[in-house]
Structure 1
């Protein structure tokens, strides 16, 4: 059914694996659509109560697939892509399951947005988190503005977005962007153990509380993803974005002009 992700179910536990390890799970247009489809399908799954999201290979996700953005043979249609990015963000936040992001390696850009959209984030000691859209002249998407603000407040969210800082796990935890740090190689096992702990608890009550807290925020989330989509389409037309992309591919420091 899916080609860029794997979704498996073990009773009341589901596991979703971002599965483009050759690209550090960078998200191309197909993966964005498949994530949105998977999250929406889980809304109708009355058996699954906990979902673990993790990445295959060396990283959780390096973010959006920059090389695919400039592929002359099959370039991404940004307007179409943003529809799926908005779908996946809204479906993830409103999932009727407890969601656990299991991070190793990098969780950057859209990968960071997806992680922050989860209820609990478990990260390995050497992992890195970055809302680094600014490096290629873009704004966060996938509800990155919303998820950051929910965890750290508006002022800190602005600083992290504007700087694009790559944060070590310890700093991310100090900012409340990570909930638990585990030794390298143990994120998957620790996430599974945490999922089992939730499944052994009165999880129906926990899910009811999640719904109460999240449902009241859905109108705001809808507005944020709509604004992100509008601005991302606009930013893709800027000189700074083109320069950022070219500098990334050429492995040099970008020269931005504010245009």
Structure 2
């Protein structure tokens, strides 16, 4: 049914795996649409109470697929992509499940937005977590502004967005961005143990609390998503963005001019 992600349901527990390992699970337009579809499917499946999200291969997700952005044969339609990015962020935030992100390797850009949208985040010590859109002259999308602000507040969110700082698991924990650090190579096992601990708890009450807390913020989330979409379409047309992606592909330092 899905080509870039895999969803497995086992009773009250579901596992969602980002499955483009050859590309470090970089998100192309197909994956963005499929993630939105999966989350919307799970919204109507109240039999599932816990969702674990992880990446196949050596990373959680390297973020948006930069090579796809540059492909002249099939240029990425930023307008329709932003519709799917907004769909996936809103559906993720309003899921009637407790969501657990398990991070190993890179969780960057849109991949990090997806992680931050989860209720509980476990990262391995040597993970590389970064809201690094700034490096290619873009702004966070996938509700990156909203999820960061919810986690750490506006001043710290601005610092992280503007610097694009890459953090390991311990650094991200110290900043309050994630909930738990685990030893290298043990993330999946720890995520599984935590999921089963939740399932053995009064989880219906936990889900009800999540719904109450998140319902108050959904209108703000929608407003931020609309603003992110509009700004990202504008940023994609800037000289700095073009320079950023060309420098990234050419493995050189970009020269930005503020336009």
Query: Which TM bucket (shorter chain)?
Result: over 0.9
Q: Which residue of 2 aligns with 1:244?
A: 244
1:168 equivalent in structure 2: 168
Partner of 1:120: 120
Q: 2:88 corresponds to which residue?
A: 88
Could you tell me how far apart the structure 2 residues matched to 1:27 and 1:75 are?
A: 14
Match of 2:145 in 1: 145
Q: How many residues align?
A: 259
Q: How far does the alpha carbon of each residue in 1:135-176 deviate from its partner, in whole angstroms, 9 at most, with x for none?
A: 000000000000000000000000000000001111100011
Which residue matches 1:179? 179
Q: In 1, Cα distance between the equivalents of 2:196 and 2:83?
A: 34
What is the deviation of 1:46?
1.7
C-alpha separation in 2, matches of 1:173 and 1:167? 9
CA drift at 1:100: 0.2
User: Paired residue for 1:19?
Assistant: 19
- Secondary structure in structure 2 of the residue aligned to 1:26: coil
Q: Partners in 2 of 1:234 and 1:60 — Cα distance?
A: 28
* Matching residue of 1:234: 234
* Offset of residue 75 of structure 1: 1.2
Which SS does the other structure have where 1:53 is aligned? strand
User: 1:14-53 alignment to 2 at 5 Å?
Assistant: 14-53=14-53
Gaps spanning 5+ residues in structure 2: where? Answer: none
Corresponding residue number in structure 2 for 1:7: 7
Q: Structure 2 CA distance, aligned partners of 1:174 and 1:212?
A: 28
Instruction: For residue 129 of structure 1, give the secondary structure of its aligned residue in structure 2.
Output: strand
Q: Post-superposition, which runs of at least 4 consecutive aligned residues in structure 1 deviate over 2 A? A: none
- 1:128: how far off? 1.1
TM-score by length of 2: 1.00
SS across alignment from 1:122 = strand
Q: Which runs of 5+ in 1 are unaligned?
A: none
Alpha-carbon RMSD: 0.4
